[in-house]
Structures are given as C-alpha cells and as structure tokens.
C-alpha cells in the first residue's frame, strides 16, 4: 500500500537581492517529497537555506519559483487569509527562540494556541494540561517562561505546537539554544510525540546528533538538497 506524500516540493527557489552582491539563491531548484508520518531532518550549516526552505513549506514566505503542495493544497494559489487558516489548522511551528508569551504561564502559553479554535475553556485547559504532561512539565504549569530553564521553555513550545493536532510540524533549529544533553532530550520528545499523534515532522538543524532521532536525513548546502554529505561542504568533525 502506497503512502501519501503530505508535502511535495517541485523546483522550488527563493532569490533575495543583497546590495552589491546582487541576487542570492537561498533555495535553489529544490525537489522534495515527504510521506505522511515521517520524521525528516535537514542538516546543514548556517546560511545553507534550511530555514528559508522551512518557512516556504510552512507558508511563512513566498517562493520566487516552483511549487509547494501541503496536504493537497498548492500554497501559491491561496489567498493570505487562506494561508493563515492553513498555518493555524494544519501546521505547528517550533522555533529556536521559543517565542513564548512572557506574561503567560506555561499552561496559558499552550492554551493560547487553542483560543482561536472556539474550544470551550475547560476543554482547552484539559488539553493543555495533557500536552504539558506529555513533555514532562505538568509540575511547572503555573510558572512563567522566565522561571523555566531553556530546555523547559522549549518543551512548552513543543506542547504548544502540538495543541491543534497539526498535520505537519516544522522545527527550526529546535535545539539551537540548548546544550547537547538537553537537545537530545528535546529531539526524543519530538520524535516520540510525532509517532504517538501521527504528525509529519520536518526539522532543520546544524546539530549532527539528530542522526539518532530521525527517520530520514538530508543535507543542505548553498540552497540545494543532498541525500549524502558533500565532503567539500560537510566535515564529520563539524557535527
């Protein structure tokens, strides 16, 4: 039985103008298919185009050329309001900077993601509590972000990303602000949660230890994707 590709990217490009440098292709003719339920990691150094590619897949940015189909929808054909709905209903985001609301508790940060759904307050609280339990933070539910460690803040961000049961979860350097031990714990949580809840995950990172926490690994350099490490770009010692 064939598996549906929930993400399909064809000849995708994103070009920026950089002063005297001229045009820079952050994403260069990328083709990619991601089956439902897969945990895909794209590994590469800073400036390789990883985050730009992730933003394009999530509808946060628009391509210069090519096509993105997400869960059967061609993103370039959607209006801005339709893109907002897609991001709210189909995509969860986890960023390096956590992006938590500083005046909200951990529980309130997760619950905030459910507010636009119209879900009753008691159901939102129940769902948010379950999500914090799933990342091992039920005992920190009433703490503000400033009272949490970096690893705990990222766990809250992960719980929030899973709140709406998104079809696709996009992780942008989710371990970038964490030490190696905590980073591995975060990736383990993401991988387990994605399998338990059936999400498709695309993670981008420069941390080589992701190899033990992913179903599929690709490499990015100069806006292009590779299935094997180009030795002139990636040295084993770097990762």
Q: What is the pLDDT of residue 238?
A: 42
pLDDT of residue 236: 42
Predicted pLDDT of residue 45: 86
Q: For the chain (length 239 residues), average pLDDT per consecutive 10?
A: 82 85 86 93 89 93 94 92 90 88 95 88 92 90 94 90 90 84 84 84 85 88 80 44
What is the rounded CA–CA span in Å between residue 143 and residue 51?
A: 30
Predicted confidence at residue 47, as pLDDT, reads 86
Res 160: pLDDT? 92
| Model confidence, pTM | 0.86
What are the boundaries of each domain within the chain?
5-99+166-234
Q: HEC string of 165-216?
A: CCCEEEEECCCCCCCHHHHHHHHHHHHHHHHHHCCEEEEEECCHHHHHHCCE
Q: How far apart are CA 91 and CA 172, in angstroms?
A: 13
> What class is the 5-99+166-234 domain?
alpha beta
Chain segment 65-87, per-residue pLDDT in tens: 999 999 999 999 999 999 998 99
Written in H, E and C, the secondary structure of 20-35 is: HHEEEEEEEEEEEEEE
| Consecutive H or E run containing 159 | helix 150-161
| Secondary structure (3-state) at 19 | helix
The pLDDT of residue 33 is 95
Furthest C-alpha separation in the chain: 56
Confidence (pLDDT) at 237: 34
């Amino acid at each position: 039985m064939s598996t549906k590709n929930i993400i399909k990217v064809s000849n995708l490009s994103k070009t920026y103008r950089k002063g005297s440098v001229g045009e820079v292709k952050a994403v260069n003719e990328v083709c990619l298919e991601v089956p439902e339920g897969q945990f895909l990691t794209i590994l590469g150094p800073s400036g390789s185009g990883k985050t730009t590619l992730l933003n394009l897949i999530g509808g946060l940015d628009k391509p210069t050329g090519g096509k993105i189909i997400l869960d059967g929808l061609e993103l370039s054909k959607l209006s801005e309001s339709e893109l907002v709905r897609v991001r709210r209903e189909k995509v969860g985001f986890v960023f390096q900077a956590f992006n938590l609301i500083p005046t909200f508790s951990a529980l309130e940060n997760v619950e905030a993601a459910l507010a636009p759904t119209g879900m009753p307050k008691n159901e939102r609280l129940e769902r948010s509590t379950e999500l914090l339990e799933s990342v091992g933070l039920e005992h920190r539910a009433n703490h503000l972000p400033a009272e949490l460690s970096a690893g705990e803040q990222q766990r809250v961000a992960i719980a929030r990303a899973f709140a709406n049961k998104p079809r696709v979860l996009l992780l942008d350097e989710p371990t970038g602000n964490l030490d190696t031990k905590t980073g591995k714990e975060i990736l383990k949580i993401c991988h387990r949660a994605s399998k338990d809840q059936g999400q498709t995950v695309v993670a981008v990172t420069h941390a080589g230890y992701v190899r033990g926490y992913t179903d599929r690994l690709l490499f990015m350099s100069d806006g292009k994707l590779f299935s094997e490490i180009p030795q002139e770009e990636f040295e084993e010692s770097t990762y």
